[in-house]
Amino acid sequence: MAEEHKQIDPITGTATTGHEWDGLRELNTPLPRWWLWLFYLTIVWAIGYWIVYPAWPLIHNSTQGLFGYHSRDAVVEDLDALHAQRGPMMAKLGSATTAEILADPQLLDFARAQGRVAFADNCAPCHGAGGGGTKGYPNLNDDDWLWGGKIADIEQTIRFGARAGNDQGRQGNMPPFTGVLKPAEISNVADYVRSLSGLSTEAGADLAAGKKVFADNCAVCHGDNAKGNRELGSANLTDRIWLYGSDKEAIVDGIEKGHGGVMPTWDGRLSEPVIKSLAVYVYSFGGGEK
């Protein structure tokens, strides 16, 4: 009787479900048997997975599974194996001076590789992936160094930072001159500073007046020749390398408000081998001094 009441689609010859919506009928085409068995198999596999692996969260823990496997344990094992492999070279790197590292080709290659990774993790957010820097963050590829570009100088700066509150770190701020100098004096000395590196100045700029302001207020740190003083971390104003910009507005802003960018202290945050490898890596950019 059931077969007699089946409604057959005249086009496909397939039975319909008997339902009709706005003149539309649904063909009764069940899923293939192979698909159903595969679906049932995945259910069985999922149940087995719940049993043998950690799966269900509990209040303070989770089900541990019959296998007792944890991916975190696998990560720890991999890290332990990596540390065991690198251990001898890391120990050698930690005990060697930066000068000794530069003299040992094998250790130098290891330090550069280690430093490249450490730089990407810790330094690139400020100095850029290639050390090119940006406004307010020094370019580490050139040969312009506020506190010296020898590898020992670089290591000290990395280790203790700059203006970071560490007594062994680099000190020296550019003080604000608002209220100390008149606006006209600031404008004149800004023109004079631009002229020191051959940059154009405004028409009618009083360079003589700017030179006097410089001699009275700026030379004490930057020197009479404006080439800076590494003991104070004062910039060379004659080399066309500008940390905050070379246009007059940027220079006036620096004179008015001062500068005091902070380089964080990495001593105690990074290990001894990593600090040395960073010094070697930065030194290898090409701007390091002998």
Residue 228 lies in a domain: yes
249 and 272 share one domain? no
CB 189 within 8 A of CB 210: yes
Residue range 29-66, pLDDT digits in tens: 888 999 999 999 999 999 999 999 888 888 888 888 88
Grouping H, G, I as helix, E, B as strand and the rest as coil, residue 108 is helix
pTM: 0.73
Q: According to the model, what pLDDT value does residue 33 have?
A: 94
- Give the span between the Cα atoms of 101 and 47, in whole angstroms: 56
Q: H or E stretch including 275?
A: helix 272-283
Taking residue 252's Cβ as centre, other Cβ atoms within 10 Å add up to 17
Residue 42 lies in a domain: no
163 and 269 share one domain? yes
Q: According to the model, what pLDDT value does residue 4 have?
A: 56
Question: Containing domain of residue 92, as a range?
Answer: 73-168+264-283
Taking residue 242's Cβ as centre, other Cβ atoms within 10 Å add up to 19
User: How many distinct structural domains can be found in the chain?
Assistant: 2
Grouping H, G, I as helix, E, B as strand and the rest as coil, residue 244 is coil
Residue range 252-266, pLDDT digits in tens: 999 999 998 999 999
Q: According to the model, what pLDDT value does residue 206 have?
A: 94
Residue 142 lies in a domain: yes
The answer on pLDDT for 128 being more than 80 is yes
Q: According to the model, what pLDDT value does residue 222 have?
A: 96
Confidence of residue 3 (pLDDT cuts 50, 70, 90): low
119 and 161 share one domain? yes
The answer on pLDDT for 248 being more than 80 is yes
Confidence of residue 1 (pLDDT cuts 50, 70, 90): very low
The answer on pLDDT for 267 being more than 60 is yes
97 and 132 share one domain? yes
Lowest-confidence pick of 75-84, 175-184, 234-243 = 75-84
The length of the chain, given as a count of residues: 290
Q: According to the model, what pLDDT value does residue 154 have?
A: 95
Cα end-to-end distance, the chain, whole Å: 101
- Give the span between the Cα atoms of 221 and 226, in whole angstroms: 9
Mean pLDDT along residues 174-194: 96
- Give the span between the Cα atoms of 96 and 90, in whole angstroms: 10
What is the residue whose two structure tokens read 């700059």? 162
278 and 141 share one domain? yes
The answer on pLDDT for 182 being more than 60 is yes
Q: What's the mean per-residue pLDDT of the chain?
A: 91
Residue range 136-174, pLDDT digits in tens: 999 999 989 999 999 999 999 999 999 998 999 999 899
213 and 252 share one domain? yes
Cα atoms found within 13 Å of the Cα of residue 162, Cβ hemisphere only: 24
